[in-house]
């Protein structure tokens, strides 16, 4: 009984502190083969993407779901 309570508490604590998974946010996607065999949207540059598909077949395309990170915000200083 103590083991069940301990494991339940451990699972609850893990669930409370775990962070959710997020999709990759990079501007280039590699489509392997004819595009139906797999996709990897984890490339910052076109050159990185092309190096990945080089020799194995595939092509690179701009990630339509890419959202660049927000730039720096202006700080308003009151006189």
What per-residue confidence (pLDDT) applies to 44?
95
pTM (2 decimals)? 0.59
pLDDT, tens digit (0-9, with 9 covering 90-100), for 9-54: 676 666 667 665 565 589 999 999 887 889 999 999 999 999 999 9
Question: Are 59 and 29 spatial neighbours (Cβ–Cβ below 8 Å)?
Answer: no
- Closest to 28 measured CA to CA, from 55, 57, 68: 68
Tokens 């999709």 — which residue?
23
Higher pLDDT residue, 60 or 79? 60
For residue 77, what pLDDT band results from cuts at 50, 70 and 90? confident
């Amino acid at each position: 009984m103590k083991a069940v309570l301990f494991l339940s508490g451990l699972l609850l604590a893990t669930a409370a502190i775990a962070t959710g998974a997020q999709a990759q946010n990079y501007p280039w996607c590699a489509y392997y083969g004819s595009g139906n065999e797999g996709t990897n949207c984890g490339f910052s540059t076109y050159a990185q993407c092309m190096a990945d598909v080089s020799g194995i077949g595939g092509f690179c395309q701009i990630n339509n779901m890419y959202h660049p990170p927000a730039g720096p915000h202006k700080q308003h200083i009151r006189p």
